[in-house]
Structures are given as C-alpha cells and as structure tokens.
Chain A
C-alpha cells in the first residue's frame, strides 16, 4: 500500500470513527430539514383564542354580511365535530358605529383596546367601496392590528367582503345573481410539462404535472446535500492542517512522506468521508422517498453528476483549505481564515433563488461555469424541471477538475513551505510567493 493511501486511511478512520461524525450524520439532515419537519409537526398547534374584531362600516353595506360569514365559518371549522375539541379560533365580529366627526380619536381608542388585549384588530370599511372607480378616495378597506401583515383574519375577510360587493354590483345593474351562480368562479391555469411521444411505440404520453415542489424544492435537495458533503469532507482540512502544524506532527510526517503525498492523502481521506456520508444519505433518502411512494420525483439522472461534482469539489476546496491551513500558525489564525476559505461555497447558496427561477439566463450559465461555483450551481440548474443542455455540465466538470488539479499543485507547494514556517503570518503575499516559488 502506498504512503498516500496509508495517510488517507488514517485520515478517514480518524474522522469516521469519531462520535462527532456519527452524531453529525444524524443531526445534519434534521437541522437542515428541521424547519420543514417542525412546521409540519406544529402546523395544527395553532393559537385557538377567539379573535374579536371591531368593524367600523362607513358604507353600511358589509358589517352584517361579515357577521353572518363569521358565524358560518365558526360553526364549521372551529370545533371538531367528532371529538368536540376546539381546533381553530372563532372570529367574533363587533359592529362599532362610526363616529362622524372624531374618526381619529375613535381609531385611537379602539387601538388602545387592541393593545390591552380586549380586541384582536379593527376593520374599517370606507364609504365608497361599492363603486371604487367613482369614489377612489373612500373605496378603502383598512385592517389595523398588532401584526397585520401576517394576520389570518385579515387574509380571511377579503373573500366574504368582495363576494358581497360583487353581488351588490350585479343587483345594482338589475341582474339577479341567483340566475348566474358561477358568475365569479375562477379557474386556475394548471402547470404542465411538455408532451412527449414514446420513442418505441410512438404513443403520445400525458404531460407530467409540474408542481412548485418539483420546480423549487427538488433542485435544492441535491444542492443542500452537496453543501453538506463539502462541509464534511473539505472544510475540516483547514483546521486539521493548522493543528498538525502547530503540534509539530507535520514535521514527523514529512520525515516519512513527501508534502504532496501528505496533502493528497488528507484530500483522499476527505473524499472518502464525504463519499461515505453521501452514500448513507442517498441510499437512505431514496428508500425513504420510495416508502412515501414519491419515487417518481427522485432525480436518478443527476446522481452520477452529483458524485462526480462532489469528488472534484472536495479536492478543489480541500486543497484550498489545506494550503491556507498550512499558512496559519494557530487555531485563532485558522479561525479567521475559515470564512474566506468557505466563501466560494457560501456565495452560490445566496444566488440559488434567481438561478432556480431562470436557469437558462446568461447570468446563470456564466456563474455556474465559474469553477469555484460550478459544483453547487451546475447541479442546481440540472435539477430544474426544464434541465440544461448536456454540454454545460461536461464543460463545468472539466473546468472543476482542471481547477482541482491546479489547486492541489499550488496547494502542495504552499503546504510544503507553510507547514514548517513557524511564526510567519498568513498574508496573501506570502502565500502567493510560496505557491510561485515552491
């Protein structure tokens, strides 16, 4: 067994055998998916205290309707019919006569009641709501509350109020609304993929239903996994190398192995760690998703690309981390290097959303072909429902592999000098000089 493999095996064992790795393996997906799982678990755990809303109806048309709508809703969804348990808050509408002269002080007085907790919110309906085009100034429905933007009652009141206004407008035009009950029915356009024919039978298959889940969530899952694998396989190298340098382990090692073998061994060990973790997640994930009978959503075609990008990415970022780590003298210096060394991984995470929305824009193509960003961004674009031309991931992979080789080469030169250089601060000038001169 060559020395490189012996170093790699030690690195691999030193990481995989620790409790930290096993705990991390379990915790990482929980933390990442934790938000979603938590929300699913606590979705029904709503605040069931009744919502008392004061309504000032200046139009004189809507207050009664709202009371009726609230009562209908309360009788249907608040109490579970079988168990008798209260599931949701009841909406209690209190009609307040509008004060003709002192509008502001009336609102202040009601706001104080909200602040004291006697009321939930205030709904003020303007005089001209029935014909907004005629009475632009007074065609207003205002909702005052402690946290109005995310208020569920505010989201609820829109529909009953507008339905009544539409009904009144028809009546005003002399039409009996009961004669056309579907006058205001709304049909949503469904999102569907393109139709394709079976190449063998020529049969035209139904188009796939495209959901937001598919368009937004699916491309993100491999990317999150990639991010996690880089964090597990490559990022620890920076601190580990600094530690070996400050504890003089490097000097002993360099008595037995060449600097290149030493660094490469560590990188191969890191690749092994991320392959192990990725295998656990991919196999586990596929089995879990199939168990949920959502197997059709698994992007099997992306998996080989995922592994190819992951291996090259760990080499690339790992070489960067090891080189920087060898230039640092202690844990504090390594700590301050951690952020700059992780920037190439963090930046793509910030531009993910615009990428998913427009995976074929020039911005997206350009950025995903920049080797430091390729492993994450190319994978993200490949996961979008429309997909991308096959030449792009190939070029991307080629460039990443080239960059990885360059980084390993330059990194091992920096490493060789840096690892024995005690007390020289990790300045960019020094690092570049070591890389150039060796």
Chain B
C-alpha cells in the first residue's frame, strides 16, 4: 500500500516557470521518505500539491488510494517551511485550535503530552510572540502532529534547531515510523537524510533525478570514492592523475576516482607523497551525489 502516489504531475506558474515537470513517485506507507534538492527545485511545490493546497496542471496525486479534489486532508499533518503561528494566541490555545481543526473531540490531553515531551509545559500559557525561534519551531511541530495523522509532511523541520532539539524531533519522527505513520520530509541536511530515510528522492529543476534507498542510489555510483586522512593532507593531495574531484573537509579529504582508474593506484600515489594516517575506499556520500547532480549552484545550500 502506498501512502502517496504521484502520477505524471506537472505544475507551472505563469507561462515561464515549470516548477514540477512530469513527476511520478510512490511513497510506501510506514516509511520515512526524504525529499532533497537545491532551493527552488520544486520540493515545496510537490509537498503543497500532496497537501492539495496547490492543484497540479496535469497528472494525478492519490493519498491513501484516493484522489483529493477540493477536499482538505485530515489524515495528513503538514508543517510548512516557514512558521505560521498566530502570534497573539497562547501556546496551548493555539495548539488546541490547530488540533481541533483536524480532529473532532478533545485534543487537550494530546497537547499536554506533546508540550511535556518537547519541554514546553512552562510556556503553555505564554503568547506565541514571546517564544524563541527554536521554541516556535517545536510548537509548529506539535501543531502538525497533535491530531495523530497517518501521514506527516515536514518541510525543512530541522532548520534553526539546536542539536538537542534536533534529536528530540528526530526521535519523534522515528517513533512515528515505528507506529506505522508515513513521514515525508524535505531537508538540505544530507547527513540527516542518510541517517533517517528509508527512501531518498531528489528533485532538480522540477524533475526527478534520484529515487530509491540510500544503498541503491549509492550503488549506482559504485565504490569510486577514497576518504583519506594524511599529514599536511590538503597541501599534498592535489593534482593527482585519475582524480576527478577533491572535496576538502579540513581534517580529511574525499577523492572521486575516475571510472577507468583503480583506487589502489591513487592511494599509492598519495602514500608516496605523504604519510597517510587513515583511509577508506567507499561509496560516494549523499552530499557528493547531490553536488554531482546539482553542480556549482547547489554547493552553497548543502554545507554539511
């Protein structure tokens, strides 16, 4: 059973901008699906179309097997990229309002449970406008999940969160998964996507460029990467024949080996120049794959 099925969907804005171009995608129920892609590549438009906030020009979108025409979707919790909270309302009041819109009956107990879990109980009767950015992000997260949706869509849930809160949200997401909830989230944090997602989907200029498990994506690229740590690494590891690209991470370097070269030869060349303290011949990281696809323009947005 697929939670979401996107079938040949195209969405244009005006005449010139094709935000999503002939996209097809299936999100199996109970999985965590990561949406990656450079800014402006169509992630948010796709998420909004799943939410039925935007309508596709062509193609169809089915959520839990049904097409949602003009109906809003109480089984989905949606957290947009930018925070949308009524600033003058009190935290608890706001959460009960948002929760009540999705679910009939009392959400008070759920609200209390989530406030406690995200360490916001002391702020329950404060107005939203006094919250810090991280706190309002957490409030927004609660608003998304408080009604107990079957599908949770999170647009960049981790931006602006400190490591402690990132972990809290990450654990909550994984807990949803184990409870059978489907989670779709978009992120620029490739490490987070690698760690959390069952499936990764990459959209670039409105088109699907990657879709599958991390392993299947990486295996498409083969073991063409050498991760090496050496004395004076950055200075010594330059201009090596057979290396297409070097990513310098400071304490170690990542080398992409040309298809027709043997990584062992490259390693020998490096060892002849300097003292290698550790090395690993590995599959390319998601970050590297992202950069390979999106090129120069994407590098700024995925500084991992």
Contact = CB atoms under 8 A, between A and B. Distances in A.
Contacts of A6: 97, 100-101
Given A14-B89, A249-B84, A420-B54, A255 B97 contact: no
Interface residues of B, number: 30
Given A3-B101, A6-B97, A420-B53, A247 B87 contact: yes
Interface in A52-106: none
B76 interface: yes
B11 interface: no
Given A10-B97, A420-B53, A253 B89 contact: no
A250 interface: yes
Given A14-B86, A249-B84, A254 B53 contact: yes
Interface in B165-211: none
Nearest to A3: B101
Contact of A256 (B88, B89, B98): B98
Contacts of A258: 70-72
Given A6-B101, A420-B48, A420-B53, A250 B70 contact: no
A251 interface: yes
Interface in B96-122: 97-98, 100-102, 104
B217 interface: no
Nearest to B78: A255
Interface in A244-265: 244, 247-258
Contacts of A7: 101
Contacts, number: 63
A252 B88 CA distance: 16
A252 B89 contact: no
B78 A252 contact: yes
Interface in B41-90: 48, 51, 53-54, 70-74, 76-80, 82-89
B260 to A, nearest CB: 48
Interface in A1-56: 1, 3, 6-7, 10, 14, 18
A3 B71 CA distance: 12
A315 B89 CA distance: 25
B4 interface: no
Nearest to B77: A255
Contacts of A247: 83-85, 87
A252 B51 CA distance: 10
B72 A251 contact: no
B94 to A, nearest CB: 9
A266 to B, nearest CB: 13
A50 B47 CA distance: 82
Contacts of B88: 14, 18
B19 interface: no
Interface size class of A (residues with CB under 8 A): 20 to 34
A257 B82 CA distance: 18
A256 B84 contact: no
B48 A248 contact: no
Nearest to B86: A249
Contacts of A256: 72, 74, 98, 101-102
Contacts of B226: none
Contacts of B100: 6
A251 B81 CA distance: 10
B53 A252 contact: no
Interface string A233-253: 000000000001001111111
Contacts of B140: 252
Contacts of A255: 51, 53, 72-73, 76-78, 80
B85 to A, nearest CB: 7
Contact of A248 (B74, B83, B97): B83
B3 interface: no
B84 A252 contact: yes
B143 interface: yes
Nearest to A247: B84
A10 B78 CA distance: 20
A218 B233 CA distance: 92
A252 B72 contact: no
Contacts of A248: 80, 82-84
B84 A257 contact: no
A14 B94 CA distance: 11
Contacts of B70: 258
B40 to A, nearest CB: 13
Interface of B: 48, 51, 53-54, 70-74, 76-80, 82-89, 97-98, 100-102, 104, 140, 143
28 contacts: A6-B97, A6-B100, A6-B101, A10-B97, A14-B86, A14-B88, A247-B83, A247-B85, A248-B83, A249-B84, A249-B85, A250-B84, A251-B48, A251-B80, A252-B78, A252-B84, A254-B51, A254-B72, A255-B72, A255-B73, A255-B77, A255-B78, A256-B74, A256-B102, A258-B70, A258-B71, A258-B72, A420-B53
The 8 closest A-B pairs by CB, nearest first: A255-B78, A248-B84, A252-B84, A249-B84, A256-B101, A248-B82, A251-B80, A254-B53
Given A255-B73, A257-B101, 12 more contacts: A6-B100, A10-B97, A14-B89, A247-B84, A248-B82, A252-B84, A254-B53, A254-B72, A255-B53, A255-B72, A255-B76, A255-B78
